[in-house]
Amino acid sequence: MTQTNNNMTVNPDLAMERAKCNFNVLEVTHIFDGGERNTLQRKKIEDVALNSGASKDALGEEHMSPKEKYENAVRKSCIYATMMKNELAELSGLESFGVSSPVIRRTADAFFKEVSPFLLHLGMFVPTIMGQCTPEQQSYWLPRALDMQIIGTYAQTELGHGTFIRGLETTATYDPETEEFVLHSPTLSSYKWWAGGLGKTVNYCIVVAQLYTKGECHGTHPFIVQIRDEDTHVPLPGIKVGEIGPKMGFNTADNGFLGFDHYRIPREHMLMKNAQVLKDGTYVKVARHGKLTYGTMVFVRVVLVNEVAFNLAKASTIAVRYSAIRRQSKPKPDEVEPQILDYVTQQHKLFIAIATAHALQLCSTWLWESFSAVLAQMKGGNTDTLPEFHALSSCLKAISTSDSAHLIEQCRHACGGHGYMISSGIPNLYNFVSATRTYEGDYTVLLLQTARFLVKAYEQAEAKKPLTPTVSYLAHAFSGSRATWDNSPDGIIRSFQALAAGKTAVCVTNMRKRMRAGLSQVDAWEMSTIQLVAAAEAHCRAVIADTYRKEIVRLTANSSPNVKVVMDQLTTLYLYYWALERTGDLLMFTSVSQKDLVDLQIAYEELLLKIRPNAVGLVDAFDLRDELLHSTLGSYDGRVYERLMEEALKSPMNKEPVSDAYSKYLRPMMKGKL
């Protein structure tokens, strides 16, 4: 066993990997964090939050009953929330703790193997107050919410409808006599369903309901609604609320249901930034864009890109470290069993996961900056950039969550049987991230939103009208010839854009053909949706590839030579990987030849070998403390087998030498006495 500086016993294979890494790991950490200052600040926050050991459980969460798990999650949420109000607020550089600090959010992961019951309070309740309230409403609700005097959630989805918001059934009918809204759930399918924290934790929630006033329906609007007594926590009369039961993951989030029986709330509890109901019941539309009430969803879609990049970084750290210590098979009889990381197929599974974590992290920062710019313009009353941003955030949410879930599962495959252990950390990561593909807008549904925008942009390009930045490449779609293949990074990105343009063109052509053949526009669209989803996916891949490449070139401009090389290798790997995944499309829409693709495959395999010596260094650069990884396979010291055994011995099943099941069932059955 090798000793490191701080006297930690480290697995010798991992120590060897670290010794052979040829770039400065800290420099890459700074790139991933967005600069040295951010790294220092993150480390300070992590030290304060994690060094006290408050995040640890006496008994592993996985051995608790559902009720114990929930209560334990509430206990730790309260500890963390108190830390946020006190020590962490100042450190995180926020005036008040809250919604925009990914570091705070990430550090919280050390406290929860699944999720906090407060996730929706911070992730959607507070952002909705910030985004949908008038200044007066905000000054009343925000301090109470930030100080955790009230805890809330976001109840939009119903049993009958999640995707189709306009189809929600809960009603909010204005009564001018009492100046109140009457909330009502007219059917079983109108019951709110899914909101995180609703089951047992929160006492308030944002409710999205169909607004009726003066006998007219004005569509869905948000309301802030008290559902439990602020002192006793008992549900208020007219409220039927509970928890929805066990799920694939999110089992500490007490997702809930909620029904209203003619439940009254004051007029002022409608969130009135975008639309108002006056005392006499007159409806006044304030916003210049009809979809601003969907703003919190857009915010969360942006946040999720960062969220899944972080979780993918965790899974790749676990799988790469484990692959460095795990030895298996004997391809060369005279040599020792190789580390499984030496198998090229293993590198193929894992290095794309590292590169994707980088790509998504950098895209998320870029997306956040674009979002801030859109918000700033909207403050000045200009909503022109919103359609493009909605299209962009929709596809990035869809692709980042779907790719991350797939790659986390691939990391599990890369860990063989031990990856299936809860204690490996990977099942919890997968269960969390696979849900992100569905919530906040399902994958297909969001890609179809992007496709709407692409088709419109294509028609604009056809009419030689100006295009917005993310679709400007569509202007080249009408050259009449196939895009010229060239295997440089810029050449591959141009080919990805040609794919997206080509697929969009096919969709438009097919829809026009179908309409000429007599189909309605809606039916022609529906018949083309498989290809529209593929076009939106191709567009998103072109955006990610272009952004990742540009950002890495910019961020490594002053880096040391070896960091430049390894970062360039990773971006190139990302481009080669996706080109090789899409060979059929490239043959359709570019001049690529069979020989070009055979050469590209060889270049890809050679690139894997070049990255191999730096693999552990690359995941170390994510700088994920053991407390965040929750993994027997991925800890920094690589004591995998020791940790697996330690965890196994903690199982309550091992507390008694003979299980009660023996005398109750096994023995009678074996003795023929059952």
Q: What mask of x and - would describe binding to ligand FAD in positions 444 to 473, judged by CB under 6 A?
A: xx--x-------------------------
Q: Which is nearer to ligand LSEC2LVB, 195 or 640 (CB)?
A: 195
Binding partner of residue 415 among ligand FAD, ligand LSEC2LVB, none, CB under 5 to 8 Å per kind?
Answer: none
Contact between 195 and ligand FAD per CB under 6 A: yes
Contact between 531 and ligand FAD per CB under 6 A: no
How many beta carbons lie within 10 A of that of residue 344, not counting itself? 11
Q: Is residue 513 classed as helix, strand or coil in its secondary structure?
A: helix
For residue 555, CA distances in Å to 33, 309, 559 come to 11, 18, 8
Do the Cβ atoms of 100 and 239 come closer than 8 Å? no
Give the residues across from 463 on adjacent strands.
none
* Strands lying side by side in the sheet with 192-193: 192-193, 256-260, 239-243
> How far apart, in whole angstroms, are the C-alpha atoms of residue 576 and residue 604?
6
How many beta carbons lie within 10 A of that of residue 490, not counting itself? 12
What stretches of 115-187 adopt beta strand conformation (E)? 152-155, 171-175, 180-184
Contact between 405 and ligand FAD per CB under 6 A: no
Size of the site for ligand FAD (CB under 6 A): 23
Do the Cβ atoms of 611 and 573 come closer than 8 Å? yes
For residue 671, CA distances in Å to 101, 108, 267, 657, 661 come to 63, 53, 72, 20, 14
> How far apart, in whole angstroms, are the C-alpha atoms of residue 467 and residue 451?
15
CB closest to ligand FAD, residue no: 162
Is there a catalytic annotation at residue 337?
no
Binding partner of residue 300 among ligand LSEC2LVB, ligand FAD, none, CB under 5 to 8 Å per kind?
Answer: ligand LSEC2LVB
Cα diameter, the chain: 91
Comparing CA positions, the residue from 307, 492, 485 lying closest to residue 404 is 307
Task: Give the Cα-Cα-Cα angle 379, 384, 390 (nearest 5 degrees).
Answer: 95
Q: What mask of x and - would describe binding to ligand LSEC2LVB in positions 89 to 118, judged by CB under 6 A?
A: ---------xx-x--xx-------------
Do the Cβ atoms of 484 and 474 come closer than 8 Å? no
> How far apart, in whole angstroms, are the C-alpha atoms of residue 470 and residue 378?
19
Q: Is residue 261 classed as helix, strand or coil in its secondary structure?
A: coil
Q: What mask of x and - would describe binding to ligand LSEC2LVB in positions 436 to 465, judged by CB under 6 A?
A: ---xxx---x---x--x-------------
Structure tokens at 559: 């880096």
Contact between 157 and ligand FAD per CB under 6 A: yes
Q: Is residue 240 classed as helix, strand or coil in its secondary structure?
A: strand
Contact between 471 and ligand LSEC2LVB per CB under 6 A: no
Please, what sign has the CA dihedral across residues 628, 634, 638, 643? positive
Contact between 387 and ligand LSEC2LVB per CB under 6 A: yes
Least CB distance from residue 396 to ligand FAD, whole Å? 17
Q: Which is nearer to ligand LSEC2LVB, 368 or 439 (CB)?
A: 439
Name the catalytic one among 61, 180, 388, 440. 440
Contact between 152 and ligand FAD per CB under 6 A: no
Least CB distance from residue 211 to ligand LSEC2LVB, whole Å? 14
Contact between 496 and ligand FAD per CB under 6 A: no
Residues 6+ apart with CB under 8 A from 356: 312, 403, 404, 407, 574
Contact between 425 and ligand LSEC2LVB per CB under 6 A: no
Contact between 166 and ligand LSEC2LVB per CB under 6 A: yes
Binding partner of residue 294 among ligand LSEC2LVB, ligand FAD, none, CB under 5 to 8 Å per kind?
Answer: ligand LSEC2LVB
Binding partner of residue 502 among ligand LSEC2LVB, ligand FAD, none, CB under 5 to 8 Å per kind?
Answer: none
Contact between 125 and ligand FAD per CB under 6 A: no
To which H or E segment does residue 217 belong?
strand 216-226
Q: Which is nearer to ligand LSEC2LVB, 238 or 387 (CB)?
A: 387
Q: Which is nearer to ligand LSEC2LVB, 117 or 162 (CB)?
A: 162
Give the residues across from 223 on adjacent strands.
207, 270
Catalytic residues: 440
Residues that bind ligand LSEC2LVB (CB under 6 A): 98-99, 101, 104-105, 119-120, 122-124, 154, 156-157, 162-166, 196, 291, 294, 297-298, 300, 303-304, 307, 386-387, 390, 439-441, 445, 449, 452
Residues that bind ligand FAD (CB under 6 A): 120, 153-157, 161-163, 194-196, 250, 255, 435, 438-442, 444-445, 448
